[in-house]
A = this chain, B = another copy of it.
Amino acid sequence: MQQSVYSSPLKTACSACNLRELCLPIELSGSEMTRLDALVTRKTAYRRGANLYRCGEKFHSLYAIRSGFFKTQVLHEDGREQVTGFQMAGEIIGMDAISSDIHTCDAVALEDSEVCEIPFARLEELSREIPALQRHLHRILSREIVRDQGIMLLLGSMHAEERLAAFLLNLSQRFAARGYSPTAFQLRMTRQEIGSYLGLKLETVSRTLSQFQLRGLIRIQNKSLQFLDIAGLQALIKPH
């Protein structure tokens, strides 16, 4: 488990960020953007395996992922892990900690990554003064609630095949939204992590992916994934 964290002296400018549309500063005027820029204090890099934060730590900041890929997980006392999400560039992470001022999960980089730190107290201050920012913060918090309820639905009422199909299509969409190919990319997580996220054992994940390949829906070799029949995958999710 790497811990190395190195800080970049470069000032992060939201106004110049190519993730601006996905992230926090959406719909702000020029001067409002400048004030947000002043608040996002650091851009920090994390090596693969490094923790962005840990369960139990004091909450200070939200983090906007600038580049890379994270997972969030809850570790049980006995070592079992439950992955609660995979986060990619442009997404905001750490919102679960607002309610208690303590982080309720671990966030771990799945590849070398960079994040912008957003001190939450100052974000609250600024969002009192900039209604568009306030509104956007509320939307982001609510979007997280909607996302979680989607996963509840998946875990509560879908079969292994449907869960995997939904998972792959979700990743595809998110890569597409970031300008990457939606039909071919590298999985950043292990079968075990996928399984934990989807409430399945790693063997079931592996078998189901093999099945998909056999049926000509995808091509998967280890972590490289290619979609061959998106419509076919979508059809799997429809109520059986």
| Chain A residues within CB distance 8 Å of chain B | 74, 76-78, 80, 82, 84, 95-100, 104-105, 124, 127-129, 131, 134-135, 137-146, 148-149, 151-153, 155-157, 196-199, 239
User: Contact partner of A149 among B78, B96, B142, CB < 8 A?
Assistant: B96
Q: Is the CB of A239 within 8 A of B145?
A: no
Residues of B within 8 A of A82 (CB): 152-153, 156-157
Question: Is B98 in contact with A138, judged by CB distance below 8 angstroms?
Answer: yes
Q: Are B128 and A96 in contact (CB under 8 A)?
A: no
Which residues of B lie under 8 Å from residue A78 when comparing CB positions? 239
For A151, the chain B residues whose CB sits under 8 A away are 148, 152
Tell me if B104 and A146 are in contact (CB < 8 A). yes
Closest 5 CB pairs of A and B: A98-B142, A148-B148, A156-B199, A99-B142, A155-B155
Give Cα A138–Cα B99 distance, bound, in whole angstroms.
7
Interchain residue pairs with CB less than 8 A apart (8) = A76-B239, A95-B142, A99-B146, A105-B149, A128-B129, A141-B141, A145-B148, A157-B199
Q: Which residues of B contact A100 (CB under 8 A)?
A: 146
Pick from B105, B124, B143: contact of A134, CB under 8 Å: B124
CA distance A198 to B76 in the complex (A): 20
Q: Are B138 and A124 in contact (CB under 8 A)?
A: yes
* Distance in angstroms between the alpha carbons of A142 and B156 in the assembled complex: 22
- In the complex the two chains form, is A153's CB within 8 Å of B84's CB? yes
Residues of B near A105 (CB, < 8 A) are: 149
Contact A199 B155 (CB under 8 A): yes
Contact A128 B134 (CB under 8 A): yes
CA distance A141 to B84 in the complex (A): 17
A127 to B125, CA, bound (A): 11
Residue of B nearest to A154 (CB): B155
A97, B105: Cα distance in complex, Å? 25
The residues of B that contact A74 with a CB separation of less than 8 Å are 149, 153
The one of B97, B143, B153 that contacts A99, using a Cβ cutoff of 8 Å: B143
Interface pair B98/A141, CB less than 8 Å apart: yes
Chain B residues contacting A149 (CB-CB under 8 Å) are 74, 84, 96, 104-105, 148
Q: Which residues of B contact A199 (CB under 8 A)?
A: 155-157
Tell me whether A77 and B239 are in contact (CB under 8 A): yes
